[in-house]
Structures are given as C-alpha cells and as structure tokens.
C-alpha cells in the first residue's frame, strides 16, 4: 500500500492509498479521530476500517489531517479539517475517474467531519 502525499489547502497531506486492480472499483475515504487527542490515520479503528473496505473490493484512502504526522498546517477547529477531507476526496476521485460509488467513513471527530463533507458534496449518494 503506497504512501502518498497530495496537496491540501494548507500544504501537503500525508496518506495511505490502497487501490484495487479493477479500474471501476468503488472508492472509500476513512477519516481519523480528533487530532488534538492523539488521532491519526494509524488509529486502530481507522486502520481496520481501511482494510475492511479494501477486503470488500473498495479502493481506499486514509490520511492525516493538517498538523498530524507529516501533514502540514495546524489544527483548525474542524473548519480546516473539513477542507482537508474535501481535498482528500478530490484526490481519490481524480485517481479513480471510473468509480461509480463513494463511501466516507470516520471515527469520532472523523465521523463528524465526514458527515459535514457529505452534506457539501451532493454528488455522493
């Protein structure tokens, strides 16, 4: 599973991208818990969600929000993290143009960001 660095609103974002062999596989993005309380993309729940989606045939991306790990920027009370999630989703969709289905999953803070992301992205069913 390749480590990826992709552009975010405040600089680079670090992630793990796990593509499926078939080009039209559904995609999923997994969001981690609160950055100020130790949440990272390597959280056990996030890691297991990532592999659960992959094992069900999804191409998956998990990433660190701004200021976590090697992602640039600083914590922004959820506002900037929502922009980070939108950038991550844009990156994932650009790498998988043929995908017809998209899932967004998160744990704790990540679930909160994911719900906001879905409200702002009506093309995601």
Task: Tell me what pLDDT residue 76 has.
Answer: 98
Out of 3.40.50.1820, 3.40.50.1370, 3.20.20.150, 1.10.1380.10, which CATH number does the structure's domain 3-120 have? 3.40.50.1820
Task: Tell me what pLDDT residue 1 has.
Answer: 66
Placement of tokens 């609160």 in the chain: 34
Could you tell me the residue ranges of all domains in the chain? Answer: 3-120
Task: Tell me what pLDDT residue 91 has.
Answer: 98
**Dihedral sign computed on CA atoms, order 93, 20, 106, 46:** negative
Task: Tell me what pLDDT residue 25 has.
Answer: 97
Return contacts of 22-26, CB within 8 angstroms, 24+ apart.
Answer: 22/57, 23/96, 23/98, 24/98, 24/99, 24/100, 25/57, 25/58, 25/59, 25/96, 25/99, 26/57, 26/58, 26/59, 26/99, 26/100, 26/101, 26/102, 26/103
Task: Tell me what pLDDT residue 23 has.
Answer: 86
pTM: 0.96
Task: Tell me what pLDDT residue 67 has.
Answer: 98
Flag residues of the chain having pLDDT under 70: 1
Task: Tell me what pLDDT residue 124 has.
Answer: 83
């Amino acid at each position: 599973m390749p480590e990826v660095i992709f552009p975010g609103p405040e600089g680079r974002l670090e992630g793990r991208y796990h593509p499926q062999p078939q080009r039209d596989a559904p995609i999923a993005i997994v969001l981690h818990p609160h950055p100020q309380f130790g949440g990272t993309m390597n959280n056990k729940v996030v890691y297991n969600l990532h592999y659960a989606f992959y094992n069900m045939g999804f191409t998956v991306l998990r990433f660190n929000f701004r200021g976590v790990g090697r992602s640039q920027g600083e914590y922004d009370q959820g506002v900037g993290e929502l922009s980070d999630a939108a950038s991550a989703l844009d990156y994932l969709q650009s790498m998988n143009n043929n995908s017809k289905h998209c899932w967004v999953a998160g744990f704790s803070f990540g679930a909160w960001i994911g719900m906001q992301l879905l409200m702002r992205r009506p093309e995601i069913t």
